[in-house]
Structure 1
Amino acid sequence: MAATDVTPLSAASAPDVQATFCSTLVDQWLRLGVRHAVVAPGSRSTPMALALTERDDIAVHVVHDERVAAFTALGLAVTEPGGPRAAPALLLCTSGTAAANFLPAIAEAGLSEIPMIVLTADRPEELRGVGAPQTI
């Protein structure tokens, strides 16, 4: 391949960069033993949700209520082989108040030393402070 055939990183599209980043994170989490992901769907978290669903070696559980999703992830971590110190479940939602609904389960996980990886997507800076929804 000639040097002119390589696309510079600056010319890569934002969706391609996001997809590569998300896929790389999922690969690493799988290497570390993660086997479950709980997704409370939202448009901002779509790149990560797609990266998760593209893999056959992780079980993706879609739960539309964020509070229920968080406790589902907590339960999956507890029931994994090895008990409370088992591999964490991933917990994914979009931004703002969706993530705030995770707090009770996150508090319980922390106090019980149950591993959990919480992933949220943030609103762009230009949507903050202008009355856009879910920008907390």
Structure 2
Amino acid sequence: MDAVTTHGPTPGSPATAAARVLVQALATLGVRDVVLSPGSRSAPLAYALADAARADGDRPEHAPAVRLHVRIDERSAGFLAVGLARAAAHDDDGPRPVAVVTTSGTAVANLHPAVLEAHHSGLPLLVLTADRPHELRGTGANQTTVQPGIFGGVVRLTADVPAP
């Protein structure tokens, strides 16, 4: 039997579809730059962002154009996003949000200094973090962090979206 190698999540999976819709929504909100600190839980979003970062002729029809910046370290990713938001504030088009994407657990906590900086500077930063599905939270699994509310009162909105 030959092994079949695939890259990315199953094309028709609910997670893949939700990730594509989320990337489209980000672009609709004016997001042009996304900083990704990849991990296994955020893989569907990473693949959707990779599609959106392709050149015009190579980008899938469903994918809006974004500039993707990949950083392995979450703290670096957070501060790059803050810097991009600060630079965007001085563009002719005016300020626009920048998104930063991480996987779950302590990766989220590593964004806290950048979230504080964005808050105190009045910069529009969208923080998208992956998490375990609701039904797997609080089950004693390793490397879990309670993510909802982790940034406290320094964010304008927190949404804990159920898995598709």
Number of positions where the alignment pairs a residue of Structure 1 with one of Structure 2: 123
Q: Is 1:24 paired with 2:13?
A: no
2:113 counterpart letter in structure 1: P
Instruction: Give TM-score, length-normalised by structure 1.
Output: 0.81
The question of 1:78 aligning with 2:75 is answered no
- Quote how far apart the aligned CAs of 1:21 are: 1.3
C-alpha displacement at 1:14, in angstroms?
10
Gap runs ≥5 in structure 1: 1-12
- Structure 2: 5+ residue stretches without partners: 1-9, 55-64, 147-164
The structure 1 segments of at least 4 consecutive aligned residues displaced by more than 3 Å after TM superposition are none
Could you say what secondary structure the match of 2:13 adopts? helix
Root-mean-square deviation (CA, aligned residues, Å) is 2.1
> CA offsets, 1:69-88, max 9 Å, x none?
100000011112536x6111
For 1:16 and 1:129, how far apart are their aligned partners in 2? 25
- 1:1-136 matches, cutoff 5 A: 16-55=13-52, 56=54, 57-80=65-88, 82=90, 86-124=95-133, 125-126=135-136, 128-136=138-146
Greater fraction helix:
1
- In structure 1, distance between residues paired with 2:12 and 2:36: 20
TM-score normalised by the chain length of structure 2: 0.68
CA–CA separation in structure 1 for the residues paired with 2:85 and 2:120: 14
